[in-house]
Amino acid sequence: MLWVDKHRPHALGECDAINTAQAKHLKLLIANGDCPHLFFYGPSGAGKKTLALGVLREIFGPGAEKVKLENKTWKIDQNDRKIEVELAMMSSNHHCEMNPSDCGSKDRYVVQEVIKEMARSRPIDSDGCEGFKVLVLTEVDRLSREAQYGLRRTMEKYSASCRLFLIAERPSRVMDALQSRCLPVRVPGPRVEEIENLLHDVAKKEKLELPPELATRVATASGRNMRRALLALETCRVNSYPFKPTQAVQTTDWELYINQIGAEILAEQSPARLLQVRGRLYELIVNCIPPEIILQNLAKALMRRVDVEVKHQIVFWAAHFDVRMQRGSKAIMHLEAFVAQFMALYKSHLIKAFG
């Protein structure tokens, strides 16, 4: 088992991602039997899913952790045609966890059918009263607009038998109508010092000697992402132990690949180089790297090597094409447009600077 899962907090009070006031408020709602729909939002690796699982354990007890993984197929009648959708899901007797955005344009059918199915099989508590189940939806900000509209209608209709825990990184991509029907819980990114403390705690549990210098470099390289920090520390343990203060922190292959693309763009600005970069971007997408992450890391790779005046334009155009990418259907077109726009700006800047 990976350290990320092995050392994941279980109880609500153990979650570092939640402050005392939020914990008291959630516990009060749960104690009164009035758990509303919840909307957890914050950066990647901050602890949103861990916090949601902690709330589940607070409501249902240890039974919420007895889960099974299954690939389920739904056959949906849509007018004169039948739609077949398959999706992996984690489920227990009390909840179900899934990522509908993995189904692409069919996500709206999954959302509606799953909630209806869960509402039909309401659990009975020890007093003979009908309870409710919880549906945990991850990456809600990647759902299509149609799926979000369908989710809004369905969560209202079946609110008595089904509660929704929505998890998202960017709340701006979740429609206001959905957010207004949930209790928002902001999960901020951890500070570097907090990640260092986490690394030392995990190393102590694993009976390892962790030099403070290495812990600081791992925490800094993680980008305030606790999951990434733990994976990096475990990678260092596999590569070399005992730890050394000067030990290298390994970077992922796709990040190195994006840095290489950035260097190639800066080396030459031409149609031939643009065509070459397009092929490399396609390769990243085919290997399941999200287009938003590609754009973000490519912009950072370019900003590290240019003058200050160009950096402002990179940020502007990266934000511009990020919005267009969310509204469009083919991410490669917007990624390529960003590269072409940067090439034009950078070449113009070089001409002005060096004549």
Q: What percent of the chain stands above pLDDT 90?
A: 21
Confidence of residue 3 (pLDDT cuts 50, 70, 90): confident
pLDDT for 53 equals 86
Cβ atoms of residues 57 and 65 within 8 Å? yes
The pTM (predicted TM-score) of the whole model is: 0.83
Check whether 193 has a pLDDT greater than 80: yes
- 94 by Cβ neighbours in 10 Å (0-12 / 13-18 / 19+) ranks as buried
Cβ atoms of residues 165 and 98 within 8 Å? no
Check whether 14 has a pLDDT greater than 70: no
> In this structure, is the dihedral angle defined by the CA atoms of residues 114, 120, 123 and 129, taken in order, positive or negative?
positive
Tokens of 112: 């509606």
pLDDT digits (tens, 9 = 90+) for 145-186: 888 888 888 787 877 778 889 999 988 889 898 898 888 888
Check whether 219 has a pLDDT greater than 60: yes
pLDDT digits (tens, 9 = 90+) for 115-138: 777 766 666 555 555 677 888 999
Q: Could you tell me which of 188, 105, 88 has the C-alpha nearest to residue 142?
A: 105
Which 3-state string (H, E, C) describes 236-251?
HHHHCCCCCCCCCCCC
Q: Give the separation between CA 299 and CA 315, rounded to whole angstroms.
A: 7
163 three-state secondary structure? strand
Confidence of residue 33 (pLDDT cuts 50, 70, 90): low
Strands (E), 268-350: none
pLDDT for 187 equals 87
Cβ atoms of residues 165 and 122 within 8 Å? no
Q: Residue 206 contacts by C-beta under 8 Å, 6 or more apart in sequence?
A: 3, 237
Confidence of residue 73 (pLDDT cuts 50, 70, 90): confident
* Span of 92-106, 202-216, 328-342 with lowest mean pLDDT: 92-106
Q: What percent of the chain stands above pLDDT 70?
A: 91
Provide the 10 A C-beta neighbour count for residue 190: 24
pLDDT for 249 equals 85
Cβ atoms of residues 258 and 266 within 8 Å? no
Total number of residues shown for the chain: 355
Cβ atoms of residues 37 and 159 within 8 Å? yes
pLDDT digits (tens, 9 = 90+) for 294-315: 999 999 999 988 888 889 999 9
* Mean residue pLDDT across the chain: 84
Q: Residue 335 contacts by C-beta under 8 Å, 6 or more apart in sequence?
A: 281, 291, 294, 295, 298, 321, 325
Q: Give the separation between CA 338 and CA 298, rounded to whole angstroms.
A: 10
Residue 143's φ and ψ, nearest 5 degrees, are -70, 150
pLDDT for 90 equals 86
